[in-house]
Amino acid sequence: MKVFADQLPAALANKLPKVVIVAGEEPLQHRDACDAVRSAAREAGIEEREVLDVEANFAWGRLHEAAGNLSLFASSKLLELRMGKHALGQEGAKALAGYAERLSQREDILLISMGKLDARQQKSAWFKALDKHGLFVPVWPVDTSRLGYWLRDRGARHGLTLDMDAARLLGERTEGNLLAADQALQKLALLSPSGARITADTIAQGVEDSARYDVFTLTDACLKGEKARVSRIVYGLRSEGVEAPIVLWALSRELRTLLSLQQHLDQGQSFDHACKAQKPMIFDKRRPAYQKAISRLPLKRLHKLLLMAQRLDLAIKGAADIPTWQGLHDLAFTLAGGRGLLADSPATYRAR
């Protein structure tokens, strides 16, 4: 049964399942979910814990051995299978399916921590067999539209009262890095009296900029039309030493996808059908962002932006006299619905 991370403590308090699968790549929520399972196991009287770290050439027979080893001191234990980002493979899938077959005979609790599980993996035999008897906790990054509310609630867990301006500023300074945000809240809790009200000025004075960005964060912001955020991300990527060709690749890929979408729509296809025709297919969760971008960017504008990207490619290779990072900013900013400094001079990007 699927349970989201914020609902997990209540679900565990209701009943401790024999299997919990925590899957995802956001480290803070992943850690919290695993800690909640460990805490629930202790409260149920399970003190013994055995950890199996899955690495290259992991012997999956160890899972069967660990499950079969009887404790001298207790009837059950918490068995942790830490997958990290390692692929399960056929041998691992077979081992987990075999574990599930004997689940009714087992007293142990199995906690599986792993990377993101896609829709295909969630339809596999091993997953269905375990999910039927346990909990599946998908761990997703917090969406920017919810980040302020999430941080406000997180502050309450540390005995702080954040006003929304403070929560939003903290989100800007730690975006994509929830561990840094939580550490900042812990520090504020140590320095402030219990129940203290935290304002934006407090955040501005006491929290360093710890935002962590990647090119996919940038393209999402472009599609959603978040102009101010786009500028912030481009600056962050440059400061972090991300190579200009990687940024250009990500932006160009989105431009080609949008052009393909627009061409399918011009042929009379529905938006959903046009999304399914893309390779890779645009999944449901991202479709509203693409629809927003398509409504904002006519075909003529998309072609101009693609020309702009081609000129930036020449600039990166030293064959065009354009300031690379200003050009990348303008490309992203214009894709988000703004007007950049260089974009105001179309001749700059005209083929020579």
CATH number of 144-206: 1.10.8.60
pLDDT digits (tens, 9 = 90+) for 157-191: 999 999 999 998 888 888 768 988 898 999 888 88
The C-alpha atoms of residue 291 and residue 294 are separated, in whole angstroms, by: 5
Q: Residue 347 is which amino acid?
A: A
CATH 1.20.272.10 intervals, the chain: 215-349
Dihedral sign, CA of 187, 113, 240, 231? negative
Average pLDDT (46-68) is 86
Average pLDDT (334-346) is 71
CATH 3.40.50.300 intervals, the chain: 5-139
The C-alpha atoms of residue 41 and residue 56 are separated, in whole angstroms, by: 29
The C-alpha atoms of residue 222 and residue 286 are separated, in whole angstroms, by: 12
pLDDT-based confidence at residue 348 (cuts at 50, 70, 90): low
pLDDT of residue 351: 39
The C-alpha atoms of residue 351 and residue 228 are separated, in whole angstroms, by: 29
CA trace torsion 327, 328, 333, 336 (10° rounding): 140
The answer to whether 80 and 52 are in contact (CB under 8 A) is yes
Average pLDDT (21-46) is 92
pLDDT digits (tens, 9 = 90+) for 213-241: 788 889 999 999 999 889 989 988 898 88
Tell the burial category of 332 from Cβ atoms under 10 Å away from its Cβ (0-12, 13-18, 19+).
buried
Q: 198 in helix, strand or coil?
A: strand
pTM above 0.85, yes or no: no
Neighbour tally for 236: CB within 10 Å:
19
The C-alpha atoms of residue 11 and residue 84 are separated, in whole angstroms, by: 24
Nearest to 53 by CA among 107, 112, 133, 123: 112
Pick the CATH number of 5-139 from 3.40.50.300, 3.30.830.10, 3.40.630.10, 1.10.3720.10: 3.40.50.300
> What is the H or E stretch that residue 49 is in?
strand 49-53
Which residues are paired to 19 by β-bridges?
110
pLDDT of residue 73: 56
pLDDT digits (tens, 9 = 90+) for 95-135: 999 888 887 777 889 999 999 888 888 999 999 989 988 99
Dihedral sign, CA of 307, 308, 313, 319? positive
Average pLDDT (183-201) is 87
The C-alpha atoms of residue 296 and residue 84 are separated, in whole angstroms, by: 40
pLDDT-based confidence at residue 352 (cuts at 50, 70, 90): very low
| Residue 261, both tokens | 């979408």
pLDDT digits (tens, 9 = 90+) for 66-83: 877 655 555 688 999 999
Least confident of 124-133, 137-146, 274-283, 328-337: 274-283
CATH number of 215-349: 1.20.272.10
CATH 1.10.8.60 intervals, the chain: 144-206
pLDDT of residue 277: 87
